[in-house]
Amino acid sequence: MKKKILAITIALCLVLSAAACGGGGSGGSGGGGSSPPASGAPAPAPAPAPAPGAPAPGAPDAVRIGVLLPLSGPTASSGTYQLDGIQRAVDYVNGSGGIKSMGGALIELVISDSTGDVEVGMTEIERLISVENVSALIGPFNSTVAAATAPIAIRSSVPYVITNAVADNVMQNGPNKYVYRTNFGMADMAPFRSLVFDYLGSYTTNGKLSKIAVVYDAGDWGVAENDSIVAIAQAVGAEIVVSEMIATDSHDLSSVVNKIRFSDAELVFGGIFLNDAILFTRQMVEYNVDVPIWGSGMGFLDNKWLEGLGKDAAEHVLGTANFNPSFAALNPEASAIYDVYLAENNGIAMPMETANGWCGMATIAEALEIAGSADREALADALYNIDLGENSLPTWFTTFEGVRFNTAGDRADRFNQNEKLGATAGQVLYQVQGGKWQLVWPHANATASIVFG
């Protein structure tokens, strides 16, 4: 793991102040001179002081950014994590003097709940664009919502930074300068997953994985997860012995579990959301199905998954996700921010949704600095040409090597995907040991040895 070093002199107290105050819209009112009150008349009440974090009278207008996330519904936990990362990035920027090229303008979030539903997401993004008149959009976590709302942003000429939503069809919109994704997509994860296949296979009797079970969500993300694993299995000569698509928030997965039980699978891959990941893991234990689980980060690496199961049921489950900043040597200022995060979250490590939210929002902030304007076209142009290095603000809680978008498209027919993710797309392999997630591979950063086979 590379160490990120960034010489920044803003004190931690400023960061804490920003987190407490947050960004706001324009507040306060200007005051001119006034005549003295008539004799015996009560003096006028003094003008109220500006709210904490609000711009002073005469300050530039706040830059309004629309946030579209699932804050209720089956994926509300992930949406809440993502919003936390977005808000922390805004608090940091606002507390550090705002957008300096715009005279210290603050960022104001206009938050909308997609519920994880496509129709709701489409309605809400139209409202953010037309009614709230935001300068840019960020979200929406769910791949299905992203695929449906990205064309709306393009048609409306509004910059839209996609966070999570890793299905590749999300970015298959043809050449445009409005829709961008800062984190990895499914095609970016494939090389690392191939390495994980080989690594886990080295612990088997035959030296390779030969029989795989796959359980995946019925939405765009789950289907993309299945397609990714099937392609890798075929490339290494492994047989898919069970392939089960499930509805989000299923009530019983015992039939799926029993298929795996009698399949001779050496590994089961799960691309399912939180509640289903809890149910599936619990029923694997209840039916004594001793097949190692490799879970994708959307469900299995949610902190609530571990809390909901307890350490015994979760023990030795594997997961691939972003590198966790708890295992990193951060630059001093990022470390200070992360210490505050840990203190506010009872020492629980930052999940990837939060880190990806920070990355996306920090990228918008950097683009605003470049554009020097909240104008949609100017901001879109800044994102189109942005090229940030590994020590830049968006990368503080990831292992991404920077942010630069592939505007010419790639082999997966994706346009404006971040192409500075690094060789492993910021991914590592975790395993629950002793009730806690441990980093088990790559070994350069490992905190424990894997238990497998």
- If asked whether residues 243 and 360 sit together in one domain, one would say no
Work out the average pLDDT over 58-74. Answer: 92
13: tokens are 């107290």
pLDDT at 57: 54
pLDDT at 34: 31
Give Cβ neighbours of residue 303 (< 8 Å, ≥ 6 apart): 348, 349, 351
317: tokens are 């489950």
pLDDT at 326: 75
- If asked whether residues 177 and 198 sit together in one domain, one would say no
Closest by CA position to 149, among listed 134, 129, 132, 166 = 129
pLDDT at residue 142 greater than cutoff 90: yes
In a domain, 151, yes or no: yes
- If asked whether residues 250 and 317 sit together in one domain, one would say yes
- If asked whether residues 71 and 137 sit together in one domain, one would say yes
From residue 116, alpha-carbon distances to 67, 107, 122 in Å are: 13, 25, 11
Q: In whole angstroms, give the CA distance from residue 244 to residue 151.
A: 31
Q: In whole angstroms, give the CA distance from residue 86 to residue 99.
A: 16
Q: In whole angstroms, give the CA distance from residue 20 to residue 135.
A: 24
- If asked whether residues 181 and 195 sit together in one domain, one would say no
pLDDT at 426: 86
In a domain, 337, yes or no: yes
Q: What is the CATH number of the domain that holds 245?
A: 3.40.50.2300
pLDDT at 312: 85
Q: What letters, b where the CB count within 10 A reaches 16 and e where it falls short, cover 119-157? A: ebbbebbeebbeeeebbbbbbbbbbbbbbbbbebbbebe
Domain that holds residue 212: 187-327+427-445
pLDDT at 330: 83
Local confidence band at 1 (pLDDT 50, 70, 90 cut-offs): very low
- If asked whether residues 77 and 191 sit together in one domain, one would say no
Whether the CB-CB separation of 261 and 238 falls below 8 Å is answered with no
Beta bridge partners of 63: 107
Instruction: Let me know how long the chain is.
Output: 453
Instruction: Tell me the pTM.
Output: 0.80
Q: In whole angstroms, give the CA distance from residue 14 to residue 23.
A: 14
pLDDT at 437: 87
In a domain, 155, yes or no: yes
SS3 readout for 220-242 = HHHHHHHHHHHHHHHHHCCEEEE
Closest by CA position to 177, among listed 411, 419, 377, 369 = 377
In a domain, 420, yes or no: no
- If asked whether residues 322 and 208 sit together in one domain, one would say yes
Chain segment 377-410, per-residue pLDDT in tens: 999 999 999 999 988 999 999 989 999 999 999 9
SS3 readout for 331-342 = CHHHHHHHHHHH
- If asked whether residues 67 and 203 sit together in one domain, one would say no
422, HSE (Cβ side, Cα atoms, 13 Å): 19
In a domain, 17, yes or no: no
- If asked whether residues 228 and 355 sit together in one domain, one would say no
- If asked whether residues 381 and 335 sit together in one domain, one would say yes
In a domain, 63, yes or no: yes
Say how many domains are in the chain: 2
Chain segment 213-252, per-residue pLDDT in tens: 999 999 999 999 999 999 999 999 999 999 999 999 999 9
Local confidence band at 45 (pLDDT 50, 70, 90 cut-offs): very low
What residue type is assigned to position 431 of the chain? Q
In a domain, 154, yes or no: yes
Local confidence band at 417 (pLDDT 50, 70, 90 cut-offs): very high
Give Cβ neighbours of residue 70 (< 8 Å, ≥ 6 apart): 76, 78, 79, 113, 114, 115, 116, 140, 141, 142, 145
pLDDT at 321: 83
Work out the average pLDDT over 143-155. Answer: 98
In a domain, 147, yes or no: yes
Task: Flag the least confident range among 86-100, 108-122, 319-333, 439-453.
Answer: 319-333
332: tokens are 């001093």
pLDDT at 50: 40
Q: Which carries the bigger pLDDT value, residue 10 or residue 320?
A: 320
Give Cβ neighbours of residue 287 (< 8 Å, ≥ 6 apart): 254, 257, 258, 261
Q: What is the mean pLDDT of the chain?
A: 87
- If asked whether residues 302 and 435 sit together in one domain, one would say yes
- If asked whether residues 360 and 268 sit together in one domain, one would say no
Answer whether the bond into residue 442 is a cis peptide, omega within 30°. yes
Whether the CB-CB separation of 412 and 188 falls below 8 Å is answered with no
155: tokens are 């048609």
Chain segment 242-285, per-residue pLDDT in tens: 999 999 999 999 999 999 999 999 999 999 999 999 999 999 99
